[in-house]
Structure 1
Amino acid sequence: MDYAPLWISVKTAILSTMITFFVGILISYWMANFNGKAKGIIDGLFTLPLILPPTVVGFFLLLLFGKNGPIGKLLELFNTSIIFSWSATVIAAIVVSFPMMYRTTRAAFEQIDINIISAARTLGLNEFKIFYKIAIPLAMPGIIGGLVLSFARAIGEFGATLMIAGNIPGKTQTMPLAIFFAAEGGDMEKALLWVIIIVLLSLILILLMNYWSEIQLKLMGRRS
C-alpha cells in the first residue's frame, strides 16, 4: 500500500490553507469595508470558484498556466512550468478553497459593531491597529471556522486538481484522485481504505471546530 497520496493531500492542504488564511483575511477585511460601485462584481469573482464545477475551475487554470496562457508564457521565460507538478495541486486547492475562507471571514468582519470601530478611531488608533487589535480578535471565531472549512475543501479537491496537475503517482496523486482511479480500476478495497481515511480526517476537523466553538462560547460567557 502506497501512502504517498495521503502525504501529498496533507501537505497540499496545509500549504494552500496557510496561503488562503492570510490572503483571505486581508481581502475579506478590505471587502467588508469597501463601498465602491464594483463591490458586487468583485465579490462575485471571489465567490465564483465556489459556484462553478471544479472541472470548469481547472479548465480556466489550464488556460492561465498552460504553455499558451499568459502566466504559462511568463514562466517559460524562467524555464519553469506549473502544469502537472505538485505546485499545480497547491494552486488548484487555493483557488477552490479560497471562497470558503473569504465568505466566512467577511461575514465575521461585517458583524462587528461599527460603534466599536468608531470609538477606536476617536481614541486615535490608526487603521492597522484597529485591524489587528480589534477586528481580528472580534472576528476570530469566524476566521477559525473559515480556516477549517478551507482545509477540508482543499484536502477533498478533485476536479480542478485532475485538470491542471493530472494523476501522477507519488507526485500529484491526492487521496480523491487515488479513490477515483482505484475504483475505476476495480480495486474497491484500496478505494474504500482511502475513503475511510478521508472520512476520519473530516470527522477530526469537525470535532476540532466544535471544540473551538465551545471554548469561545465559554470565554464569552465569562466575559459577560
Structure 2
Amino acid sequence: MSGLWVPLLLSLKVAGWATFFAAILGIAGAYALSRWKSSWCNVVDSILTLPMVLPPTVVGYYLLVLLGRRGVVGQWLAQWNIELVFTWQGAVVAATVVAFPMVLKAARAAFEDVDQRLVNASKILGVSDTATFFRVTLPLAMRGIMAGVLLAFARALGEFGATLMIAGSIPGRTQTLSISIYEAVQAGNDDLAMVLVITTSISCVLVLWLASYIKPAHARRQGAR
C-alpha cells in the first residue's frame, strides 16, 4: 500500500501548497484586471492564462530555463543555497503555474459580477478602499472564487508534464500520483496503475462536485432553467 499512500500524500501536499499560492496570486491578479480599464487588459489576461492552453512540456521547459542552475531566477536562488529543480518545492512551483489561470479566470468573473452600487455605497459611507475590498467586494465574490480555487486544486493534483520536467520522478520525494501512474504503466505493474488511476479519478470527481455545488447562485439559477 506504500505504493499508493506515499504518492497520494505527496500529491495532496503539493496540490495544497500550489492551490494556496495560486489563490493568493490569482485573486490579486483578478482584482487588478477587473479594475483596470485599458485596451491592454485583455492582452495581459491572455498572457497570464497561457499555462492553461500551452502543452505542459512547454510550461516545464520555461520553468527549467528560469529555475535551472543557468537560469536567471535559478542563479539568484543559488546564492541563497535554494535549489528547486528535482525537489518537491519545484513540483509546487510547476503546479502553481498551471493552476493559477483557474483561479484568475474564475475570480475575475466573480469580481466583475459584484454589484458596484454596493461598493460605491461603502465608499460613500467613508469606508476605505482596503476595508471595502475585504468587507464588501471579496465576500460577494467568494463563491465564484472558491469554485476557481477548487478547480485549481484538481488541476494541481493531476499535474504531470511540467512537474515531471522540473521535479523529475524521485520515489518518495517528487513522484506524485500522476507520475506514479506513468511509472507503474512503464514497469508493467497494471494492478498498481489501476489503483492509482481510480484514486486520482475519485479525488478529482469529488473536487469537481464541490466546485459545481458552490458556484455562484445566479449561475445555478441559469443552469436550472
In the superposition, the TM-score normalised over structure 1's length comes to 0.91
Distance in 2 of aligned mates of 1:153 and 1:210: 15
Could you tell me which runs of 5 or more consecutive residues in structure 2 were left unpaired when the two chains were aligned. Answer: none
- Tell me what 1:40 maps to: 42
- Rounded Cα–Cα distance in structure 2 between residues aligned with 1:62 and 1:41: 25
| 1:177-217 deviation digits (Å, cap 9, x = unpaired) | 01111112211111111000011111221333344359x68
Where does residue 58 of structure 1 map in the other structure? 60
Partner residue of 2:69?
67
AA partner of residue 105 (structure 1): A
In the alignment, which residue of structure 1 is the partner of 2:112? 110
User: What is the one-letter code of the residue matched to 2:164?
Assistant: L
Match of 1:8 in 2: 10
Instruction: Give the total of aligned pairs.
Output: 217
Superposition deviation, residue 140 in structure 1: 1.1
Correspondences of 1:1-224 after superposition (within 5 Å): 1=1, 2=3, 3-213=5-215
User: 1:94-145: CA deviations, max 9, x gaps?
Assistant: 0000000000010000011222222222222211111111111111110110
CA distance in 1, matches of 2:213, 2:78: 47
CA distance in 1, matches of 2:67, 2:183: 25
Q: Specify the code of the residue in structure 1 equivalent to 2:161.
A: G
Amino acid at match of 1:204: L
In 1: Cα distance, 2:164 partner to 2:81 partner: 23
Identity, % of aligned positions: 40
Structure 1: gaps of 5 or more residues: none
What's the Cα RMSD here?
Answer: 1.7
**How far apart are residue 37 of structure 1 and its match?**
4.1
CA distance in 1, matches of 2:82, 2:28: 29
The structure 1 segments of at least 4 consecutive aligned residues displaced by more than 6 Å after TM superposition are none
The letter for the 1-side match of 2:68 is G
CA distance in 2, matches of 1:6, 1:112: 38
The amino acid that maps onto 2:70 is N
